[in-house]
Structure formats: structure tokens, C-alpha cells
């Protein structure tokens, strides 16, 4: 008898200030009826906070880009609604009023219409973006190659690459500035009427995951410290070639039996995410662990080590992601975190954050931080 699972994440439970967890309802539906099974999903307040912290910085950076795209780098206030819509216009008007250190309003006298432009200090910092973009280019080329190498046929529909372009940090003209600039790495091919970004050359040196790189560094540190005994810790972490970093929420306390099962899972070998998924049986536990590694690597390739759930879900066929993707993410809540804060749910790679701070930032994120800091307040993206 076939069953299918439906997972419901309660956004109201996530937003509850007094609750340290939310209830995840899993309904097993079969021909004989339905049976509800509820699981506790512990909240991570610090990662929820990330979504709140990035709201105003995002508006500041978006308005900067709009102004820079205008003739003479000034935006007529009457045209703001055309750029962002009627509702969002008022949020941007508030930003303009609140941060005179970044945005300057002029005109309004005589025949000159009111406009907004960057202040002299903001323009000076904004000029550093070009250098940050230059530093980003080799990183983006490498990450795009790895993204294609992870896929089954070493190609991904071009529209899907564009779909996650912001998460990857791709410039708007990436086809011209990256794809066509590096024909030895990329090409665009039309297959059955659909444009695909295609990998031209396989590079085995790139077929190393972020997880494997971290393990190599930690093993070197352990050897230097003379620590040879390896065992699972109370927080669920284990130093081994097939282990994952665990970052459980403060309210979660794994018991002895849980840790024993987790240690077995840590020790279990699994195929590399860079091997073709067609070679493995879906039901094999090693294949299921490999899927966790694929999700881990995909999030590692993004700038902020997070992705909107719907965007991650769009890559089922290219990376053979599980049909019950949300269940997989919930099961491995020491590695991933799903938050409903913001307009859409977002999946975080937990180890990439220290509280609400992203640990490693790429050049463009460091530039963004510097520009937003002109607002006079410490803002973390």
C-alpha cells in the first residue's frame, strides 16, 4: 500500500515569541485513511534574526543600484514607483529620509523635479564595488563550474541558473561577462528548445566538497595538537572523513541512544556528490547520505550559505534531490535550518553561521557591509 507524506511548517508557531520550537505535522496518507504524526522542530533564534537584520540593508543596496543605473546617477522621486511599485515605494522613501549620510535629496525648486542621488561619501565607497567584482570573478567561475559538475549531465537549464543568480552572486550580465568570456569552461546549448548552461571541461581538482576541505583542515589541527582519539561529542560532532558538522539548536538535547545512532551515521561511507547520481540506488542509505552532501555543497556554493526553499526545490531533476525534500532537511536539523521569517521560507547551512553572523564573507559581501555601514549603525548581512 503506497503512502505519501505531507509536511506542514506552521509559520505562526515559528513567529511565536515564547516558544523555542515549532510543531511539524507529518501526515501519512494511504487508502485506508490518514494518520498524523507530529514532530518537534527546534527554533534557532539567531538564524531567524538574520532575516530581520537583512531587511534594511537590502533596501539600501537596492536603492543604490537603482540610482547608479539612472542617467547622471540621479533618480527622480516621481519615477521611484515605476522602479519598485506603489507599495514598496514608501519603504524606500523611508530609507531616503532615514539615511541622509547615504542618500541626498535635491531639486524641487523652480522647474527642477525632486531627485535622490548618492552623497559624496557614498559615491566614494560605491566606487570600490568594481574592485570587489573583479575579486569575485574567479570565485564565481569556480563555483559555476562546481555547480555544473554536481549535476547529472554536467548541464543546468540557463533559466535555473538565472533563478539563483542573486544567491550565487552573479552579475546581471553574467552571460556576457562570465559565460562567453570563458568558452574553455562554459557553453550555452539548446536542447529540445531549451537553453542549457553546459560544462565544457571536467576538472577533478574541483571535485572536492566544502565538507571535505573543512575535514582536512580540522584533521591537520588535531594532528598538530597530538589528539588521536576520535569519538562523538555530546553535541553530536565527530571527526571523521564522512562526518558532517552538527550545530543543534540550544533547546535540543540529544540522548545517548540518539548519539549512538548518529555516530553510526557519521561513520557510514557514501559516494561523492560529484559522482553521477544515476549510478546509485535511491533507497540505499549511503545514497540518502550522499543527498545530504549534495544539499550541503549546493548551499556552500551560495554567497550567504542560504537559499529560498522554492529555489532549492527547483533543482530536483538536475541533482536527484529527494521528493520529500522538506522531510530530509528537517531530519538533518543539525546541518540545515528552515525559517519562515521573511516573505518566503529559507534554508540555512547552519555551520556557516556563528550566531547570526556569516563566518566567511566573499569580496562583494564585504563591500556591501562597508557601504551599509555608512548608515551609521552596525548592520550585518
Report the alpha-carbon distance of residue 144 to residue 187 in Å, rounded.
Answer: 12
Q: How far apart are CA 323 and CA 316, in angstroms?
A: 8
Cα separation of 7 and 38, whole Å?
10
156 grid coordinates: 543546468
Whole-prediction pTM: 0.87
Comparing CA positions, the residue from 146, 176, 147 lying closest to residue 160 is 147
**What number does CATH give the domain 129-203?**
3.30.420
pLDDT digits (tens, 9 = 90+) for 123-159: 999 999 999 999 999 999 999 999 999 999 999 999 9
Around Cβ 298, how many Cβ atoms within 10 Å?
22
Of 364, 293, 311, the closest CA to residue 138 belongs to: 364
Locate the DSSP E strands across the chain: 4-9, 21-30, 33-42, 74-76, 103-106, 115-118, 155-157, 186-191, 194-199, 306-308, 336-339, 346-349, 353-354, 357-358
**pLDDT score recorded for residue 108:** 75
Residues in the chain: 381
Domains of the chain, by residue range, sit at: 46-121, 129-203, 205-358
pLDDT at 31: 46
State the first-to-last Cα distance of the chain, in angstroms, to the nearest integer.
Answer: 48
Q: Which CATH class is domain 46-121?
A: mainly alpha
CB count, 10 Å around CB of 270?
19
Ranges of residues in the chain with a pLDDT under 50 are 1-18, 26-33
Distance CA 324, CA 306 (A): 19
Amino acid at each position: 500500500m503506497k503512502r505519501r507524506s505531507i509536511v506542514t511548517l506552521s509559520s505562526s508557531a515559528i513567529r511565536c515569541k515564547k516558544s523555542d520550537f515549532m510543531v511539524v505535522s507529518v501526515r501519512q496518507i494511504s487508502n485506508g485513511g490518514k494518520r498524523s504524526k507530529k514532530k518537534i522542530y527546534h527554533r534557532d533564534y539567531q538564524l531567524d534574526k538574520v532575516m530581520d537584520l537583512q531587511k534594511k540593508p537590502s533596501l539600501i543596496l537596492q536603492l543604490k543600484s537603482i540610482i547608479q543605473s539612472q542617467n547622471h546617477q540621479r533618480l527622480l522621486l516621481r519615477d521611484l514607483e515605476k522602479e519598485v511599485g506603489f507599495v514598496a515605494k514608501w519603504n524606500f522613501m523611508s530609507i531616503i529620509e532615514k539615511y541622509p549620510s547615504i542618500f541626498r535629496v535635491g531639486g524641487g525648486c523652480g522647474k527642477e523635479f525632486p531627485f535622490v542621488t548618492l552623497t559624496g561619501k557614498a559615491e566614494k565607497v560605491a566606487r570600490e564595488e568594481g574592485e570587489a567584482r573583479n575579486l569575485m570573478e574567479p570565485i564565481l567561475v569556480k563555483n559555476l563550474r562546481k555547480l555544473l559538475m554536481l549535476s547529472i549531465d554536467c548541464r543546468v537549464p540557463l533559466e535555473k541558473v538565472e533563478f539563483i543568480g542573486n544567491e550565487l552572486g552573479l552579475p546581471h550580465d553574467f552571460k556576457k561577462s562570465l559565460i562567453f568570456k570563458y568558452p574553455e569552461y562554459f557553453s550555452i546549448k539548446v536542447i529540445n528548445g531549451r537553453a542549457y548552461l553546459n560544462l565544457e571541461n571536467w576538472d577533478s581538482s574541483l571535485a572536492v566538497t566544502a565538507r571535505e576541505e573543512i575535514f582536512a583542515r580540522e584533521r591537520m589541527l588535531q594532528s598538530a595538537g597530538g589528539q588521536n582519539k576520535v569519538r562523538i561529542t555530546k553535541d553530536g560532532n565527530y571527526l571523521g572523513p564522512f562526518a558532517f558538522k552538527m550545530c543543534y539548536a540550544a533547546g535540543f538535547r540529544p540522548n545517548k541512544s540518539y548519539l549512538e545512532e548518529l555516530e553510526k551515521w557519521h561513520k557510514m561511507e557514501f559516494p561523492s556528490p560529484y559522482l553521477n547520481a544515476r549510478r546509485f540506488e535511491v533507497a540505499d542509505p549511503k545514497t540518502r547520505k550522499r543527498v545530504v552532501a549534495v544539499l550541503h555543497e549546493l548551499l556552500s556554493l551560495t554567497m550567504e550559505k542560504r537559499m529560498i526553499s522554492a529555489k532549492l526545490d527547483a533543482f530536483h531533476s538536475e541533482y536527484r534531490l529527494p521528493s520529500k525534500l522538506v522531510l530530509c532537511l528537517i531530519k538533518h536539523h543539525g546541518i540545515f535550518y528552515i525559517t519562515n521569517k521573511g516573505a518566503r521560507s529559507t534554508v540555512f547551512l547552519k555551520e556557516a553561521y556563528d550566531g547570526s553572523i556569516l563566518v566567511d564573507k566573499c569580496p562583494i559581501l564585504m563591500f556591501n557591509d562597508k557601504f551599509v555601514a555608512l548608515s551609521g549603525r552596525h548592520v550585518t548581512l
